[in-house]
């Protein structure tokens, strides 16, 4: 156990070292005029810019809006994905009717729907939430549905033989069996929810990180674009850590090896 | 070996109407009755498979009956029908003289695969049935804990099934069933996948449980020696389409232990006698099946 954690710490140290080395190489490359800062900026400038926009609070309203869009989109897409998967899991005929339609809808590049969403929901937060939710929905839906199909029949039968009602079977067998599948879906959905919000903002918005990147890019402010990207990376990393912790808690029953 | 030991009349639809054993079951009332049960499977492509034909069987209160037959003979189908999971194509199953319809909480079922919920701890798994019944938390915890202690699983209350050995999982499955205090327990080849030593200790466990609770048990197995070790009566089923071929009372005295029973001279005699009868069905099941379809 101790050895393991020490190994883990070692890996983290090496990882940090690699990031620092890359940043140092980048910085050095720019200073030696090997890399054009117009296109790539440089780490010290990015850090200074990040510090500025965070301390001044300039970035905060944009950050808040994008996170809000992504989070509501994630929640709505997850819940609706699970509900629809369970309904179709239950109603096999409907599932067979809808199957190719769902696959076709999933295949539409969501970016193409952007103008429609703006038309329907306006340039405000709603169109971004919708974009985010729809991207999340399909990921969660397909995963949960596969999970529903994979529920161990012998477990369902065992609970039925104990006199379990349909609702009890759903709560005590089907939902917990689907949890690993839902979590796998969430892992992909986490990125998709943020992507949906950003893409929505690219198409038309008045605020948000996506809007900020877009407008900074328009002004050739590479440093600001990079600052926003660093921020997004940090958000994703945090989200993933949160998800990992959730997974560990919810899936502690799964054999580790 | 006296021929009077076994009722071996081969083709009777009512060969079960006779009293089971002189000792244990004769005066006890009939708990479970299977009458003229037929079952035919129709597969997706329309192929009909006759699994059970004219099955008649009576199990008396507190009796331990083992059903033996070649693999694929429809033993599990029969158990599914009597447990209420499936309905027979025709025929009737009654419990305490009343026709059975669907699943009853008076029946416990232990299946071939251990169907423990993998995300629940041992304790939570044992509580499952009581939870479904709506027993208050404190009370069901008490019942589960005392059963866990009795089965030698204490210390594993908070373990998940994946952390247990095959034998331990079976024990949990058995006490999960006992926790609901069913009147009759069906077991479908419960120890099939276990090694010999684990099997024997679990057989002892079942013998102990029967001795203590006197529950009516119907135990399906393809292992003849297991059937003789455990049961008051061995019911032999034919190859498909399956029916009751013959029945043998097992007069080996109780309380039994798996190990001691295997050394009993009666055990060998019974095994020889029943095996002769069973062998022809096994051969039929292996060779005869393919030419029919």
**pLDDT tens profile A74-115:** 999 999 999 999 999 999 899 999 999 999 999 999 888 888
Shared domain check, B186 and B97: yes
Q: Report the mean per-residue pLDDT for chain B.
A: 84
Percentage of chain B modeled with pLDDT above 90 = 42
Domain hosting B256: range is 8-106+182-285
Residue B120's pLDDT band, with cuts at 50, 70 and 90, is very high
ipTM above 0.95, yes or no: no
pLDDT single digits (tens) B148-174: 998 889 899 999 999 999 899 999 999
Shared domain check, B193 and B159: no
Residue B26's pLDDT band, with cuts at 50, 70 and 90, is low
Residues A170 and A117 sit within 8 Å (Cβ to Cβ):
no
The arithmetic mean of pLDDT across residues A20-34, rounded, is 93
Shared domain check, B242 and B203: yes
- CATH number of the domain bearing residue B218: 3.40.50.300
The arithmetic mean of pLDDT across residues A219-229, rounded, is 94
Residue B112: what pLDDT? 82
Residue contact A163–B163, C-beta within 8 A: no
Residues of B in Cβ contact (< 8 Å) with A180:
none
Query: What gap in Å lies between CA B174 and CA A146, rounded to an integer?
Result: 31
Shared domain check, B199 and B170: no
Residue A35: what pLDDT? 87
Residue B231: what pLDDT? 93
Residue contact A157–B115, C-beta within 8 A: yes
Q: Report the mean per-residue pLDDT for chain A.
A: 92
B9 pLDDT higher than 70: no
Shared domain check, B218 and B102: yes
Residue A150: what pLDDT? 93
Looking at domain A55-250, what is its CATH homologous superfamily? MetI-like (1.10.3720.10)
Shared domain check, B262 and B142: no
In a domain, residue B121? The reply is yes
- Give A 204-243 residues with CB within 8 A of chain B: none
For chain B, say whether A168 makes contact (Cβ under 8 Å): yes
Shared domain check, B87 and B28: yes
Residue B21's pLDDT band, with cuts at 50, 70 and 90, is very low
Instruction: Choose one of B181, B211, B232: the last residue of a domain.
Output: B181
Instruction: Choose one of B181, B202, B230: the last residue of a domain.
Output: B181
Shared domain check, B97 and B135: no
For chain A, say whether B118 makes contact (Cβ under 8 Å): yes
Domain count for chain B: 2
The arithmetic mean of pLDDT across residues B205-210, rounded, is 92
In a domain, residue B290? The reply is no
The arithmetic mean of pLDDT across residues B288-293, rounded, is 44
């Amino acid at each position: 156990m101790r050895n393991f954690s020490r190994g883990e710490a070692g890996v983290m140290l090496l990882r940090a070292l690699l990031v620092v080395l890359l940043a140092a190489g980048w910085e050095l490359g720019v200073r030696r005029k090997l890399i054009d800062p117009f296109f790539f900026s440089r780490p010290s400038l990015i850090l200074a810019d990040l510090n500025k926009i965070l301390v001044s609070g300039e970035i905060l309203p944009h950050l808040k809006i994008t996170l809000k869009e992504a989070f509501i989109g994630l929640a709505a897409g997850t819940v609706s994905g699970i509900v629809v998967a369970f309904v179709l899991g239950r109603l096999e005929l409907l599932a067979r009717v809808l199957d190719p339609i769902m696959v076709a809808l999933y295949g539409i590049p969501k970016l193409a729907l952007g103008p429609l969403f703006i038309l329907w929901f306006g340039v405000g937060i709603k169109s971004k939430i919708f974009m985010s939710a729809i991207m999340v929905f399909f990921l969660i839906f397909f995963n949960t549905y596969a999970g529903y199909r994979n529920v161990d029949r012998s477990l369902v039968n065992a609970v039925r033989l104990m006199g379990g009602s349909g609702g009890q079977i759903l709560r005590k067998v089907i939902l917990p069996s689907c949890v690993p599948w839902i979590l796998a879906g969430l892992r992909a959905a986490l990125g998709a929810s943020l992507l949906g919000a950003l893409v929505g903002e690219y198409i038309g918005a008045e605020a948000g990180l996506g809007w900020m990147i877009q407008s900074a890019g328009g002004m050739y402010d590479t440093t600001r674009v990079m600052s926003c990207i660093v921020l997004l990376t940090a958000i994703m990393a945090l989200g993933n850590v949160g998800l990992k912790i959730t997974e560990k808690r919810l899936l502690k029953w799964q054999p580790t090896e | 070996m006296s021929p009077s030991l076994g009722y071996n009349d081969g083709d009777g639809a009512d060969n079960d109407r006779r009293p089971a054993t002189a000792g244990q079951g004769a005066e006890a009332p009939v708990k479970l009755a299977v009458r003229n049960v037929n079952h035919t499977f129709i597969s997706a492509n329309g192929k009909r498979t006759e699994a059970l034909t004219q099955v008649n069987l009576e199990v008396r209160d507190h009796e331990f009956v083992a059903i033996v037959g070649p693999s694929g003979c429809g033993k599990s189908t029969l158990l599914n029908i009597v447990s209420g999971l499936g309905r027979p194509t025709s025929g009737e199953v009654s419990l305490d003289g009343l026709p059975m319809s669907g699943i009853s909480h008076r029946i416990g079922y232990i299946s071939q695969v251990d169907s423990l919920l993998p995300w629940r701890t041992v304790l939570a798994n044992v509580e499952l049935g009581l939870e479904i019944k709506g027993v208050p938390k404190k009370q069901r915890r008490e019942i589960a804990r005392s059963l866990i202690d009795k089965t030698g699983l204490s210390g594993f209350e908070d373990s998940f099934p994946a952390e247990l050995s095959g034998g331990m999982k079976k024990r949990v499955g058995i006490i999960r069933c006992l926790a609901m205090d069913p009147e009759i327990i069906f077991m479908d080849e419960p120890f099939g996948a276990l090694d010999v030593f684990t099997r024997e200790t679990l057989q002892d466990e079942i013998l102990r449980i029967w001795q203590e609770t006197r529950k009516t048990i119907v135990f399906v197995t393809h292992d003849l020696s297991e059937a003789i070790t455990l049961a008051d009566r061995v019911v032999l089923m034919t190859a498909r389409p399956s029916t009751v071929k013959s029945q043998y009372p097992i007069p080996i005295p109780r309380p039994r232990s798996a190990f001691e029973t295997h050394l009993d001279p009666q055990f060998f005699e019974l095994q020889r006698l029943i095996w002769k009868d069973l062998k022809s069905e096994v051969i039929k099941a292996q060779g005869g099946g393919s030419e029919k379809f």
